[in-house]
Structure 1
């Protein structure tokens, strides 16, 4: 009897040693494909219903359900420009059952601006992928008084439009003012980019910076003057990069690189910190398979109204964000100074 107990105890100790810490077999021994079967996954949308990122997340919901065998629900936590949802995922249990889609430029921008409500840490979140990264353009009226960078630089009291003080258009507008050395201010309070475009058409504001607005371009309401990048965007090869139009210092080029890498308008698919590596790899592999699937891509392109072929893998976007997090202090200083000088 004593010998049998000794053997059983030894086996149990061996098992615990293999699956430590915590002797939780679910964490280490259950294969990800088996772990997800029959589970409940919460997908958190951090943008308004009908926004592109929200629509893509809802397309993903059906694929996740089919591929994992889990039941999937979509909730919306868009408060404070997506901060609510990012904080929620940051604090979620590290089991890979709470996933979410946020705007990359807002997610990173909140930390650059030092938003006190943004409790999440860039270097701790688990990154699954980044979908449809799109470069940022500066738009003006096609028949307005400013058709060249030189005309903008010669003008005074320009007004660049934005929705909120910490939003995408505001950060981009501050960047344009700094890079071109404009006599301008960023004016906030507009309801959305369509509202801004109409204000440009009426001559109430000079322009604004945002990702491509193809429907408004096709309607003749706005035109792109340049892209905030070191090279032309392959999607719009006729639009010059800002570096073709002005000579920039090394510090200015670092700012442009920030927009090229992490401050672009993209959907960032994330999960909580500390998710087991095998589960994170499993989720990343699923997404990669979807983007090779013509049916999935067709659905995404349909809601986007254009072909969105590019995406970043989890490893690629992790590297970009970690690089930014390591030098975020210098960008916090830059944008704090810019906001104090140019935001109204």
Structure 2
């Protein structure tokens, strides 16, 4: 199954939103930014980077709140049910809007109960394994699994999370059989990986980098089509599994009915951040690639992503929970 690229040529797109913030919305209270996964994961890390730099632009503190569970659905629903006053926002992601709606029966629909505000960045995944295993490449990883078919397990940030589905896609395309063990965030899966209770997991570069850099785990492949500057010696998984390419996207969303002036103001501020070299350096240090686009383009991007994961669910016969 070949993944179609979701990277539109948008970096050079002119975004005429900056001036609108001058006469736009100003919050009168602190703003909550819901990160629907555990502390230490990519959604949490990126939310905190955004909150720190967005707060002075809004003139109010942006407070990150972790609301975990159900592959991000718990936090997403809390935003979908919130008042559309701009004071409750979501760090939306491929998991919350692209994957979970395809594999979980929800009492809400992120496509209609939340509105896209501003895409932030795309974060490739990295396949990490226990450092004590005799595995230094994907070929060795595949051989190790085939010799122990049905005996091994891998971790993820939860059923339907991007870390679950990126690994499920990889295993499906490579013809490998490994049992999925969901956690409430990859940071919570890490102790079992270090202890050897799971063989590995695909995690976002953002959250996996600390463990890779200090040698606690071994990185054997990335989901991008080329090696990354932060991990120049780690090859793309697509070299061993042709057609495999995944980019986990993150961006801001709000409740349905969010007024246009609030969307415009928040979008303009996010474009301001994405134009600052220091902010881009912080993203790059986490392995994140900026993905600026208009709210309308962001909505189209989300819809395309959701369809691609629907295709995977059909191809694998994955059960809807």
TM-score by length of 1: 0.68
Partner-residue secondary structure (3-state), 2:110: coil
Between 1:149-158 and 1:35-44, the stretch displaced more is 35-44
How many Å separate the matches in 1 of 2:35 and 2:81? 15
1:312 paired residue number: 291
Using a 3 Å threshold, how does the CA distance of structure 1 residues 89 and 314 change in structure 2: closer, same or farther?
A: farther
Count the aligned residue pairs: 287
Whether contact under 8 Å (1:53, 1:103) holds in the other structure is: no
Deviation at 1:136, TM superposition (A): 0.8
Name the counterpart of 2:218. Answer: 223
Q: RCO higher in 1 or 2 (8 Å CA, sep ≥ 6)?
A: 2
Q: 1:274 deviation in Å?
A: 4.3
Q: Within 2, Cα distance between the matches of 1:221 and 1:210? A: 14
Q: What is the 5 A alignment of 1:207-246?
A: 207-212=200-205, 213-246=208-241
Once the two structures are TM-superposed, the CA of residue 107 in structure 1 deviates from its matched residue by 3.9
1:321 and 2:267 aligned:
no
- Classify 1:139/1:309 alpha carbon distance in 2 versus 1 (closer, same or farther; 3 Å): closer
Shift of 1:178: 0.9
From the superposition, tell whether residues 53 and 103 of structure 1 become closer, same or farther in structure 2 (CA, over 3 Å): farther
Q: 2:133 aligns with which of 125, 144, 164?
A: 144
Q: Tell me whether 1:184 sits opposite 2:178 in the alignment.
A: yes
Q: Does 1:109 align with 2:99?
A: yes
Distance 2:66 2:209 in 1: 28
1:78 is aligned, of 67, 84, 93, to 67
Once the two structures are superposed, residues 261-295 of structure 1 have per-residue CA deviations (whole angstroms, 9 ceiling, x without a partner) of xxx1x532112334454543332121111233356
Would the aligned equivalents of 2:169 and 2:312 in 1 still touch at CA under 8 Å? Answer: no
State the 4+ residue runs in structure 1 displaced beyond 6 angstroms.
none
Structure having the larger proportion of residues in helix: 1
* Further displaced range: 38-47 or 204-213: 38-47
User: In the TM superposition, what is the alpha-carbon distance from 1:40 to its structure 2 partner?
Assistant: 4.1
Q: 2:270 aligns with which of 287, 305, 310?
A: 287
1:1-344 aligned at under 5 Å gives the runs: 33-37=22-26, 39-40=28-29, 42-47=31-36, 48=38, 51-66=44-59, 71=60, 74=63, 76=65, 78-80=67-69, 81-94=71-84, 96-117=86-107, 119-122=108-111, 125-151=114-140, 152-153=142-143, 154-156=146-148, 157-189=151-183, 193-194=186-187, 196-212=189-205, 213-246=208-241, 248=242, 253=243, 256-257=244-245, 259-260=246-247, 264=248, 266-277=249-260, 279-294=262-277, 296=279, 301=282, 306=285, 310-315=289-294, 316-326=297-307, 329-334=310-315, 337-338=317-318
Distance change >3 Å, CA 145–CA 116, structure 1 → 2 = same
> Which segments of 5 or more consecutive residues in structure 1 lack a partner in the other structure?
1-30
Structure number with larger C-alpha Rg: 1
Q: Which whole-Å CA distance do the structure 1 matches of 2:119 and 2:98 have between them?
A: 13
Task: Measure how far apart 1:181 and its partner are.
Answer: 1.0
> Which ranges of structure 2 fall in alignment gaps of 5 or more residues?
1-19
Q: What is the rounded CA distance, in whole Å, between the counterparts of 2:80 and 2:250 in structure 1? A: 17
CA spacing shift, 1:59–1:160, aligned 2, 3 Å: same
Inter-CA distance 188–313: structure 2 relative to 1 (3 Å threshold): same
For residue 113 of structure 1, report the CA deviation from its aligned partner: 1.4
| Contact residue 26 and residue 58 of structure 2 kept, 8 A | no
- The answer (yes or no) to whether the contact 1:225–1:240 under 8 Å persists in 2 is yes
Q: Secondary structure at the match of 2:221?
A: strand
Residues in 2 aligned to 1:177 and 1:328: alpha-carbon distance in whole angstroms: 15
